[in-house]
């Protein structure tokens, strides 16, 4: 079905008008008004997004919902489980394309790494998704449904479900800001799913004008900046967006927001021989001091054709110590998760891209 002829989906509409959407839909289908309340209860309080599970509704109504307003925008094609408990999901969208989400358990938390685009135009050289280029933006319904599907699958196994959401999957979220912002509204608004915005992190390589918009529209959402180098020449070569929104502009916007309650983190993938010198460590410390950010050092996840190797524990320790020596804020090094299931963003889809359906 082409996008133009696809029926309206509830999660593409603003959640603040949820009741009106449902009432209007019931009127259009000549249903009594109380049905709208029943659907709302199933969806929001029961987190039942599959109409087939809304068993207090008549069969015909469930059928109508599942082919229209609440049709499933994705189906689970693969679910791979790592020995460390990480679960990777590959979903197939209505047009046949694939995306992935990763659920990462830590103690009593379940962090969902969510995708915002099919592919990515940012082209970071160390990223599997970056090698795919951009195919299309995801709709809000496809973003919200990743969360609902992963939450349902993990709670069904007695796990804690999704307690944190990070927009660090496929795509640059701020290149698809309208749909990402709408999805955040669904997650966090009082009319939507009431998920705390402080448990949502949006990661960006530095789309400066959109950072300002995000901060204004979602003041409690956390921000993760994918920096990877604070030296212009190095950053130009591994994060090409730096040639459009450079480190000065990025530092400026982060200085502007350092005073609010938002927690900013700087993400830094260590690439031996590229961005792990003492000079790089000092530049990183200096940059982080401008915005008081937490620094998170990340392992590189190798993928086929990648021109980098992963740093060993000693190299990570040395770099971390050098940054910390020059910075009063916190610096942590994250360990790899899900390596045995193609854990890095985009790797699974790179192997199974799917095909776009015609018409």
* 8 A C-beta contact, residue 221 and residue 262: yes
Q: Record the tokens describing residue 65, joined without a space.
A: 């919902």
Query: Which of 113, 120, 127, 345 is flagged as catalytic?
Result: 345
CA dihedral 269→274→276→279, nearest 10 degrees, is: -130
Q: Is 122 in the site for ligand SF4 (CB under 6 A)?
A: yes
**Residue 233: CB partners within 8 Å, gap ≥ 6?**
none
**Residue 358: CB partners within 8 Å, gap ≥ 6?**
none
259 burial via Cβ count (<10 Å: 0-12, 13-18, 19+): exposed
**What is the chain's percent helix, strand, coil content, to nearest 5?**
40, 20, 40
Identity of the residue, 25 or 89, whose beta carbon is nearer to ligand SF4 in the bound complex: 89
Smallest separation (angstroms) from ligand SF4 to the CB of 57? 39
How far, CA to CA in Å, does 86 sit from each of 4, 62, 89, 342? 37, 33, 10, 11
Smallest separation (angstroms) from ligand SF4 to the CB of 263? 20
How many separate helices (H) and strands (E) can be counted in the chain?
A: 11, 12
Identity of the residue, 172 or 276, whose beta carbon is nearer to ligand SF4 in the bound complex: 172
Q: Is 205 in the site for ligand SF4 (CB under 6 A)?
A: yes
- Binding segment for ligand SF4 (CB under 6 A), chosen from 168-176, 270-278, 305-313, 348-356, is 168-176
- Identify residues 323-352 at the interface with ligand SF4 (CB under 6 A): 345
Helix (H, G, I), strand (E, B) or coil at 134: strand
- Helical spans, DSSP H, in the chain: 18-28, 34-40, 59-67, 140-156, 177-188, 208-217, 232-238, 247-257, 278-291, 313-325, 347-351
Residues, the chain: 359
Note if 100 is an active site residue.
yes
- Binding segment for ligand SF4 (CB under 6 A), chosen from 32-40, 169-177, 190-198, 306-314, is 169-177
Q: Record the tokens describing residue 75, joined without a space.
A: 């189906």
Q: Kind of pairing, strands 109-113 and 98-106?
A: antiparallel
Smallest separation (angstroms) from ligand SF4 to the CB of 207? 9
- Binding segment for ligand SF4 (CB under 6 A), chosen from 74-82, 92-100, 166-174, 206-214, is 166-174
Q: How far is the C-alpha of 52 from the C-alpha of 60, rounded, in Å?
A: 10
Q: Is 206 in the site for ligand SF4 (CB under 6 A)?
A: no
Smallest separation (angstroms) from ligand SF4 to the CB of 222? 16
Residue from 123, 206, 251, 299 that binds ligand SF4 (CB under 6 A)? Answer: 123
Q: Is 271 in the site for ligand SF4 (CB under 6 A)?
A: no
Smallest separation (angstroms) from ligand SF4 to the CB of 34? 45
Residues near ligand SF4 (CB under 6 A), total:
13
Smallest separation (angstroms) from ligand SF4 to the CB of 280? 18
- Binding segment for ligand SF4 (CB under 6 A), chosen from 9-17, 63-71, 124-132, 331-339, is 124-132
Smallest separation (angstroms) from ligand SF4 to the CB of 346? 7
- Identify residues 67-106 at the interface with ligand SF4 (CB under 6 A): none
Q: How far is the C-alpha of 229 from the C-alpha of 238, rounded, in Å?
A: 8
Identity of the residue, 38 or 296, whose beta carbon is nearer to ligand SF4 in the bound complex: 296
Residue from 51, 73, 130, 251 that binds ligand SF4 (CB under 6 A)? Answer: 130
Note if 304 is an active site residue.
no
Residue from 64, 100, 142, 172 that binds ligand SF4 (CB under 6 A)? Answer: 172
Residue from 118, 127, 254, 344 that binds ligand SF4 (CB under 6 A)? Answer: 127
CA dihedral 245→248→249→250, nearest 10 degrees, is: 80
- Identify residues 213-252 at the interface with ligand SF4 (CB under 6 A): 226
* 8 A C-beta contact, residue 210 and residue 171: no
Query: Which of 100, 142, 172, 267 is flagged as catalytic?
Result: 100
Residues identified as active-site: 100, 345
Q: Where along the sequence are the contacts to ligand SF4 (CB under 6 A)?
A: 120, 122-124, 127, 129-130, 170-172, 205, 226, 345
């Amino acid at each position: 079905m082409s996008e133009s002829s696809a029926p309206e989906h509830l999660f593409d509409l603003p959640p603040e008008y949820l009741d009106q959407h449902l009432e209007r839909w019931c009127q259009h289908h000549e249903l009594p008004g109380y049905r709208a309340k029943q659907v709302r209860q199933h969806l929001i309080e029961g987190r039942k997004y599959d109409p087939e599970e809304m068993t207090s509704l008549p069969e015909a109504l469930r059928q109508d919902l599942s082919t229209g307003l609440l049709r499933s925008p994705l189906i689970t094609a693969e679910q791979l489980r790592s020995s460390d408990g990480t679960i990777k999901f590959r979903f197939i969208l209505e047009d046949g394309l694939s995306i992935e989400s990763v659920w990462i358990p830590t103690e009593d938390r379940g962090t969902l790494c969510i995708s915002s685009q099919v592919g990515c135009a940012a082209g970071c050289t160390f990223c599997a998704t970056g090698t795919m280029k951009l195919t299309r933006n995801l709709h809000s319904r496809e973003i919200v449904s990743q969360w609902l599907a992963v939450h349902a699958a993990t709670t069904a196994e007695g796990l804690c479900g999704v307690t944190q959401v990070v927009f660090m999957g496929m795509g640059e979220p701020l290149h698809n800001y309208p749909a990402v912002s709408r999805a955040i509204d669904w997650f966090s608004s009082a009319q939507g799913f009431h998920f705390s915005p402080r448990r949502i992190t949006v990661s960006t390589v530095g789309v400066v004008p959109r950072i300002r918009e995000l901060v204004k529209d979602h003041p409690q959402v956390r921000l993760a900046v994918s920096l990877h180098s604070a030296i212009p020449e190095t950053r130009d070569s591994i994060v090409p967006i730096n040639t459009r929104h450079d480190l000065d502009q990025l530092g400026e916007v982060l200085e502007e927001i350092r005073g609010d309650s938002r927690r900013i983190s700087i993400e830094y993938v260590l690439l031996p021989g590229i961005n792990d010198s003492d000079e790089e460590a000092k530049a990183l410390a200096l940059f982080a001091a401008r915005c008081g950010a937490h620094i998170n050092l990340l392992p590189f996840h190798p993928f086929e054709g990648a021109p980098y190797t992963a740093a060993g524990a000693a190299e990570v320790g040395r770099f971390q110590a050098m940054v910390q020596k020059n910075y009063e804020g916190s610096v942590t090094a994250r360990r790899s998760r899900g390596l045995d299931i193609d854990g890095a963003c985009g790797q699974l889809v790179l192997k199974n891209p799917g095909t776009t359906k015609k018409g």
